[in-house]
Amino acid sequence: MAEDMTMTVPTLTLLQSPPPQLFFTGKGGVGKTSLACAVAIALADAGKRVLIVSTDPASNLDEMFNQPLGDVPRPIPGVTGLSAMNIDPEAAAEDYRARVLAQLAPSATEAERATVREQLSGACTTEIAAFDQFAGLVAGGAEGFDHVIFDTAPTGHTLRLLSLPKAWSGFLAENDRGASCLGPHSGLTMQEDRFNAALKALGDPAVTAIVLVARPERSALLEAARTAGELSKLGMHNQRLVVNGVFHASVPDDALAASFEALGRAALAAMPAELRAMPRDEVPLRGFDMVGLPALRALLRADPAPASPQIVNPASIRNIPGLDRLVDELSRKGSGLVMVMGKGGVGKTTVAAACAIGLVERGLQVHLSTTDPAAHLAMTLAGDALPGLRVDRIDPKVETERYIERIMAMRGRDLDEQGLALLREDLQSPCTEEVAVFHAFSRIVAEARGAFVVLDTAPTGHTLLLMDATGAYHRQMLHDLEPHRPGAGRIVTPLMRLRDPDYTHVVLVTLPETTPVSEAAALQEDLRRAEIEPWAWVINRSLAAAGTRDPLLRQRLEGERRQIERVCGSLSKRVFILPWQTTPPAGLEALRTLTL
């Protein structure tokens, strides 16, 4: 089967004369990883030596290739010339710490070394260390390969990653005192040239093509346009667009199929001007899961095997309760924190907004907020307001400014003008943003003591960094305060509240597809290691629950059935389902119907 697929020339114009590096980015759930893998395989099948690298903290390259991967290139069996690797943020951070510690004077005491290691334990160290490894590859560190393909995290996380060198360069240029939340500056300074070389390579069309991946959906195309603008500000104008999952109905009188196609056509017709100006490829919707070499090779074929209708008995699927039952169960608790989590693109924002509106409809006061840098809440609510519902977001820039002013007021009382200037300069460190966002998150978590707080979280990788910060703060509080407060009462940290099943209800959202379910399962294990037990799963956009007669869509139903049985059978005892909506739910009325 695989040999037949390699004989068909892939259809993407992107593959006609690709530069040495291809950088895939886009909104979560649009198929970046599938397309990056398919392109890597096509280039390798054409005789090139190819390395595919994931920069996503929640990478699923391992599952795509059915091959365990690490932080060094590993050959992919079945594809001559192809190797793959994951940038391991924790391993990169440990390597970074070792380099910084090696620069300390031989006379440094163990206590001094321990202090530096503690300074280097934050999530921002992990981010800059991961970029350091990424930058090494971009700047020519992947010798022996004709092409390097980067599969990135969802856009909010990726844009922050790409903005780090500029932020740190500015900070280092103005701050030469040698200490920050990243410890001695030399660990950053010695990498500055490599960071700048990496950004130059990313912006050079002879070296790199930036591939924006989207689906024929309004939100995905708007996100791609926003990303295009942000990348252009960083000097990366060498962009092109791939629209994945373009659907054409084959049964005229199937309402769901007709709606599916019409929504895609309308989204493409309203595509932002900056995307229209780019070179563009379109990839048809496929009826099979994008996992394994045969499927990845078939993804780009002009003539994949024709879809054949599958017989699916949806009775068991239709017996799974809907979002109305989930909100009913939550409302009986009276108050608490509802954290909606999952892979990018699975519909977290829609589920969070619908739950918040449903709780208000049941007579409760609700604060709906988000930790997602991309902040899609406003788009989902379409600007509508509802009495009893307060909506905002954790804005990193606003929170950072607020945090800096608070620290200046607290610590600057006894400082002279020079001391104040030095304090403000130190607070310009990009790590300050991490601390400020964590404080805002902690403040919102605490609000749930007397009301409902529904928190729409960022895609998985970004959220795990926030969880890391929460855990670090918890350990620091216990270490610093508990020994000095005998009999003063128990300390309650944000992590303790997240671990309390009566206080916090984590709702994992997934799609009925292999990769989203696997990533939600991995997130569930990460949470359990932090002693946070997910409360429920929501399976979103189920075609099986909606019903269709279109052959291609029915072909997808068999895969849905397997994943739904997987969730209900082994991953969660409390599962809810949302059918695929013929009209994307946006605005109060549309969201309200999801929980009636």
Residues annotated as catalytic are 29, 31-34, 56, 515
DSSP reduced 3-state for 540? strand
Which residue type sits at 219? S
Is residue 34 helix, strand or coil? helix
List C-alpha distances in Å: 391 to 244, 342, 363, 377, 457. 32, 21, 17, 8, 14
- CA dist 160 and 82 (Å) reads 29
Sequence-separated (6 or more) residues with CB below 8 Å from residue 442: 470, 473, 494
Distance CA 45, CA 442 (A): 50
| Cα 14 from chain centroid (whole Å) | 25
The C-alpha atoms of residue 536 and residue 501 are separated, in whole angstroms, by 12
How would you label 24-41 residue by residue, b for 16+ Cβ within 10 Å and e otherwise?
bbbbbbbbbbbbbbbbbb
CB 248 within 8 A of CB 261: yes
The CA distance from 342 to 552, in Å, is 27
- Across 37-123, the runs of DSSP E, i.e. the strands, are 50-54, 74-75, 82-86
Other beta carbons less than 10 A from residue 72's beta carbon: 10
Burial 377-411 (b: 16+ CB within 10 A, else e): beebbeebebeebbbebbbbeebbeebbeebeeee
Cβ atoms within 10 A of the Cβ of 557, count? 23
Is residue 108 within a helix (H) or strand (E), and if so which, with residue range?
none
Between the alpha carbon of residue 13 and those of residues 288, 485, 504, the distances in Å are 23, 66, 48
Residues 6+ apart with CB under 8 A from 271: 221
380's enclosing H/E stretch is helix 377-381
Determine the length of the chain. 596
Interatomic CA distance for residues 11 and 301, integer angstroms? 6
From the list 441, 442, 471, the residue with the least C-alpha distance to 373 is: 441
Q: In what order do the strands lie in the sheet with 50-54?
A: 74-75, 82-86, 50-54, 147-151, 21-26, 208-214, 239-246, 280-284
SS3 state at 353: helix
In whole angstroms, what is the distance from residue 499 CA to residue 590 CA? 33
Pairing assessment for the beta strands 82-86 and 74-75 based on DSSP bridges:
antiparallel
